[in-house]
Amino acid sequence: MTLAPIAIVSAMHEELRALLPALGPARVARLGGREFHCGSVHGQAVVLVLSGIGKVAAATTAALLIHEFKARALVFTGVAGGLRRGVKVGDVVVAQQLLQHDMDASPLFPRFEVPLSGRSHFEADARLVDALAGAAQRCLDRADAIIGSDRRLAFGIDSAQLHQGLIVSGDQFVSSAAQSTALRTLLPDALAVEMEGAAVAQVCADFGARFAVIRTISDRADDSAHVDFKRFIEDVASAYTHAIIEDWLLHTPSF
Ligand code: ADE
């Protein structure tokens, strides 16, 4: 019997494009306007898919992966804006918990709480988090081999660090100092902000599925967040994601 696949989900085309060659010969299944690429990486069954951007796109993708493709674990990759002090462009964040920063049904429910679930924070799978953090650290240690020192220096990346903790998600590209300061004040533990992770977390909690979210910091969620965004994904984040996923699958044969 073939083992259920591990799902790797990207929000952006550039990242999926970087991961596809690792998959080898793949079958493509089309569902819900998405293309699910089913193959294997280092002997492990894998399904790769582009989710699209935002919480609804991510939630739809996660539900299809779990229900239709019987994915045994989901890993969401991509970029995020750094929020907490010390979370710099080029760093990598592995989420231990996720929260929707734009969820607000107050005064009916406490701010950030997902109505009727009784919770605002959703935990990622601890074993997956550990394994991905290990892979990310190994890749950061050889950043020059992965992205090249020219690119690293061009983006001002120096001694990139790995962080683990809270990632917050919302249907908003945070692109002003005022917005990011407001988020930091409301959610001082938040390391980074993106647009999909907490939606995946909520769907996975509903289905009891294992998941993790790993993000390369592309910007500081401030007034210059959009500058170089696409080029960063092409030149840095895609290469990191590819290297981290390959390293993780190689080092966790019994996953
Ligand atoms: N993904 C990458 N940077 C982001 C930002 N500043 N806001 C939301 N999502 C992001």
Closest ligand 1 atom to Cα of 219: 3
Q: Which of 15, 113, 125, 196 is catalytic?
A: 15
| Full-model pTM | 0.96
Give the residue ranges of DSSP H helices in 44-176.
55-67, 126-141, 143-147, 149-154
Going by C-alpha positions, the residue among 80, 79, 84 that lies closest to residue 191 is: 84
Question: Measured in angstroms, how far is the CA atom of residue 218 from the centroid of ligand 1?
Answer: 8
80 CA to centre of ligand 1 in angstroms: 5
124 Cα to the center of ligand 1, angstroms: 20
Q: How far is it, in rounded angstroms, from Cα 39 to Cα 22? A: 9
CA of 114 to the centre of ligand 1 (A): 22
For 41, the token pair is 């990486």
Question: Which amino acid is located at 95 in the chain?
Answer: A
Q: What CA–CA distance (Å, rounded) separates 236 from 234?
A: 6
CATH of segment(s) 6-251: 3.40.50.1580
Ligand 1 atom closest to 194 (CA): 9
Per-10-residue mean pLDDT, the chain, length 255: 86 90 92 96 93 97 98 96 96 98 98 97 97 96 92 91 98 97 98 98 98 96 87 92 94 69
Q: Which pairing describes strands 73-82 and 190-194: parallel, antiparallel, or unpaired?
A: antiparallel
Atom of ligand 1 nearest to the CA of 175: 6
pLDDT at position 43? 86
Question: Which residue's CA is the nearest one to ligand 1's atom 1?
Answer: 80
Chain-centre distance for alpha carbon 241: 9
Written as six digits, the tokens of 86 are 């010390």
Cα distances (angstroms) measured from residue 68 to each of 32, 52, 226: 11, 18, 35
15 carries an active-site annotation: yes
Q: What was the pLDDT predicted at 52?
A: 93
- Atom index in ligand 1 nearest the CA of residue 225 equals 6
Q: Which of 255, 243, 218 is nearest to 87 (CA)?
A: 218
Residues in contact with 73: Cβ distance below 8 Å, sequence separation at least 6, in sequence order: 6, 7, 125, 128, 209, 210, 211, 212, 255
- pLDDT reported for residue 225: 80
Q: Which two structure tokens, joined as six digits, stand for 229?
A: 């965004």
Distance 155 CA to ligand 1 centre (A): 17
Place of tokens 């049904």: 105
Residue 86 DSSP class: T
Q: Which of 14, 125, 194, 219 is catalytic?
A: 219
For 167-182, the pLDDT digits (tens) are 999 999 999 999 999 9
- Catalytic residue list contains 150: no
Residues with CB under 6 A from ligand 1: 79-81, 173-175, 193-195, 218-219, 221, 225
Q: DSSP characters for 104-135?
A: --TTTS-TT-BTTTTBS-EEPPHHHHHHHHHH
Residue of minimum CA distance from atom 2 in ligand 1: 80
